[in-house]
Structure formats: C-alpha cells, structure tokens
Structure 1
C-alpha cells in the first residue's frame, strides 16, 4: 500500500508568548515494514533553527526552536509512505520462546530488552494477564490474540485528544478508554508475562471515506525469532500494511507527537488539528 498523509496541528494563544524548543515526532519511520518515500514540514512562525535527531529509542525526530513572540504555532507535515507487511505472522519463533511466561531469555537479549520489560505492573493488568494465560495454556501467540480480543470486546473506545494514557487499572475498571489507554493496558498485561513491549504512535487506514481522522496508537511485542510485532487492541488486529508507524518507545510519553511549551504570564493555549490519509495504491 502507498499512502499520502497530510497532518496539520495549530496552537493558538490568547496573547503573545515565547515558545520553548519543540520536539516533533511526526516523521514516519523507515524499516522492514514501511518505507518513507517523501516527507516535508512547514512551520509558522518560521523557526530560528530545525535539527534532525535520532532519539534514545532510535526514532527520527525534529527539534524546533524560535526567537520571536507569537500568538500562533502551526506545524504541517506531509508524508508519502509505502507499507510492506502483508502477512503479520510470517516468522518462526525461537523454540525457547513458545510458552509463557518467558523466564529464560539469553543474557545478551535480556540486557537489550530490560527497559521494555521492567516497570511497576498494575495489579489489574496482572490479573487480566493471568486469566488470559490460563485460557491460552501458555501458548504465546494464542495469549496475544486472546488478550487483544478481550480488551477489544470488553472496553468501549473513546476519543481523548490530549493527556497522558490512563493507568491500566482505571481503563479496565471503566471498561473504556482511548487507543493509548487500551494500548497501555495491553502492554502491561504482556509485561506481567515477561514479554517486552513498546508503545507506537502512528496512523491507521480505517475508513477512507470518513474525514474525521485521528492519530492512532498500538503496541509492539518483541517475539524472539519474529522481532517487534504490532498488536492493536482498539481494532483487535495484528498490525499489517494498513498502519503507518511514526515512533515507538518503552515509555508512552516519549512517543507523543509534539512536545513543547510556552512562556507568558496569564497565557493559555488551544489546539486543533486536521488529518487526511489517502491511499494511492
């Protein structure tokens, strides 16, 4: 699939403000599953400088800094991406990674994966993981499929445009959440079983006739023998060629699309955005 994406974010302020440096994480990644064919960014007001950075997670991000007060910040990115993952199950698991919980990672692999496994796992996620594990007989792929399906069927999808992801206990108790809330719940249930996971921010094809578009989030699980593989509990899907990944991180906050702030006594901001996704072929 080849997609053309136009994504504009506009911040307006009630008075002139000074902008701190902003990090923009809206450049689609290029890897085995997708190729970035074209990318452009337009910023108003014109930044004093723009630098391309590879962050701690290996993501390609942009840092903008400014030197003039403004009452508006407009960031428009245009991307063309070709996706390649037609079969999300085209891999062969390592023999020692067929059952859960995984407790015997080879030491070199474990050192790499530790940031994606560690953390305080919410008791609600632990209980959910144990229930799914018991029903799946410890089969790793069955566990992931059943977990994806349980969250999808149990939790009502809601749109929440701003704010950090809710703790898994809140999402599971409310049985509702945004895509990032459901993703964090999925991640922590996986980590309770010793599976390394990371949070992914990106786009999803969805209904191409629907003009109401939003950023999307899903999880990637590291499967020994298969590498990082995506699961979307909001859609109950294994990620294939209809998702376009921007960035990923073990910590969801480091996958947010734009980070930055402003200075100005009594100043406040409002945000709006416009997103279009066109499938070219």
Structure 2
C-alpha cells in the first residue's frame, strides 16, 4: 500500500517565547517492510542547528536548536511511502518459542529487558485472570519467578490476539489530543480510552505475562469507506517474538498490524515515542497545540 501524507504540527504561544532544544520523532521507520519514496520537512522558525541521529531505541530523531524569540513553532512534513507487509503472520513459530512466559535467551534477553520491565498495576491481575484462567495465570507467574518452563497450553500468539480483540471490544475509542497516555490502572477503570491509553494497558498486560512489548506511534490508513478529512496520529503496540521479531498489534482496532500502519517511533515508554518533545521560556506564556494530517492511500507508485 502506498501513502501520501501531509502533516502539520503547530504550537501557538500566547506571547513571545524562547524555544529550548526540541527532539522531533517524525521520520518514518524503514525496517525492510516500508520504503520511503519522498520525505520533506520544514520547521518555522528555522533552527540555527539541527542534528539527525538514532536514539537508544533505534528511532531516527531530529534534534533542533533555536535562537531568538517566536510566537509560533511549526513543523510541516510531506511523505510518500510504501508499506510492503500484507501478512502480519508471515513467519512459522517454533512451538517451544511460543510458551508463556517467553524464554528470551542470551543477548536478546539483555536487549529486551526494558520492554519486560513491569510496575505494579492495580486491577491488572483481576483483568487478566478471566482471560487466561487463574491456573494458567498462576503457572506463568511461578515460571517467571523461578525461571522454570510453564506447561499450560496457552501460546503467546493466542494470548496476544485475545488481548488485542478484548481491549478493542470492551473500550470505546476516544480522541484525546492533549496529555500523556494514561497509566494502565487508570484505563482499567474507564470504559473509554484513546489509542495511546489502550496501548499502555496492552503493554502492561503483555509484560505481566513475560512478553516483551513496546509503544509505537505513527500513521494508520483508516477506513477507506469513510470520509476522514480529520486525522490524528495513532498508537499501537509491538511484541517481540523469537521467530518473527517485533510484530504489531492494534488494541484500538482489534487487529494484527500489516500494511495499514506506518511507524514513526517505538519505545518502552510512550514518552520516548512522542512526536515532538521540548520546552520553552517565557513569563506567563501558554502554548496551544494544533495539528492537521491529510492522508491518502493506494496511490500509483
């Protein structure tokens, strides 16, 4: 699938401010399943210095430095990109590598540690036990604690799809343009949540059962049968499989990710996948975020 994307991010300030260094994570990920055909990005005011680099999660970032004062920061980018993965399950899992908890070995276990880190989440156990059964849940937790192999019959693939569909069915999808993702325990108490909120809960549930998972931000193709003049950035999760590598799952839409998603950044913590981070200085100044995304698909490449 080929996309044409126009994306404007603009911060309007109530008075002139000095912009501190900003990090921009709007470069599409090129991982063998996507090909960037065209990409331009314009920043106003123009930074006096700019550096492109890889962060510790492997995301391409732009670090921007500014001089002087301004009442507006605008980042406008145009993209033409092709997504190649039409089958999210184009690999053959080894039954031994499908066990829960996942048995990541050697260097992989070290590299994946940040994506397995768990915090205590009120209500998570009560949410998971009806999905997997108390005996299976307890078996997995015992295996995680002792480092032994659990033998309960539930595979990683089965659980991840069950979780994806359950969250999509139980929660009303809402749009929250501002604010960080809710903690997992907050989302568990709600009946409506944004895509980033559901993604945080998805990752918490996966990690609790020993599956490495991370937060992804990017673009989503949407429903071609609906008029979607107004778009927002989307969020979904990726889990690490021994045989398939990182694979995406969208708990908002209830599906495995194929060619209808374009990833921009992925991280263990959603803060590290935010499209723009930075601060400003100005007495009493306030900021207002405005964004526009115009996206079309199935273009002639």
TM-score (norm 2): 0.89
Match of 1:183 in 2: 199
Deviation at 1:244, TM superposition (A): 0.5
Match of 1:66 in 2: 66
Deviation at 1:226, TM superposition (A): 0.8
Q: 1:126 to 1:223 in 2, by over 3 A?
A: farther
Match among 270, 282, 290 for residue 272 of structure 1? 290
Deviations 1:194-245 (A, max 9, x none): 0000100000000353101000000000011010000000000100001100
Deviation at 1:105, TM superposition (A): 2.5
Range 205-214 or range 65-74, more displaced = 205-214
Deviations 1:58-88 (A, max 9, x none): 1111111110101111110111111011000
RMSD: 1.5
Q: What is the rounded CA distance, in whole Å, between the counterparts of 2:112 and 2:48 in structure 1?
A: 38
Matched position secondary structure for 1:266: coil
Match among 251, 263, 276 for residue 245 of structure 1? 263
1:262 aligns with 2:261: no
Matched position secondary structure for 2:5: strand
Match among 177, 182, 206 for residue 166 of structure 1? 182
1:117 aligns with 2:116: yes
Deviations 1:232-265 (A, max 9, x none): 0000010000110001001110000000111011
User: Which runs of at least 4 in structure 1 moved beyond 6 Å after TM superposition?
Assistant: none
Q: 1:4 to 1:190 in 2, by over 3 A?
A: same
Match among 213, 236, 239 for residue 221 of structure 1? 239
Q: Is the 8 A contact 2:118 2:208 kept in 1?
A: no
**Structure 2 runs not aligned, ≥5 long:** 137-151
Q: Is the 8 A contact 1:11 1:272 kept in 2?
A: yes
Q: 1:81 to 1:126 in 2, by over 3 A?
A: farther
Q: Is the 8 A contact 1:34 1:82 kept in 2?
A: yes
Matched position secondary structure for 1:162: coil
Q: What is the rounded CA distance, in whole Å, between the counterparts of 1:229 and 1:80 in structure 2?
A: 23
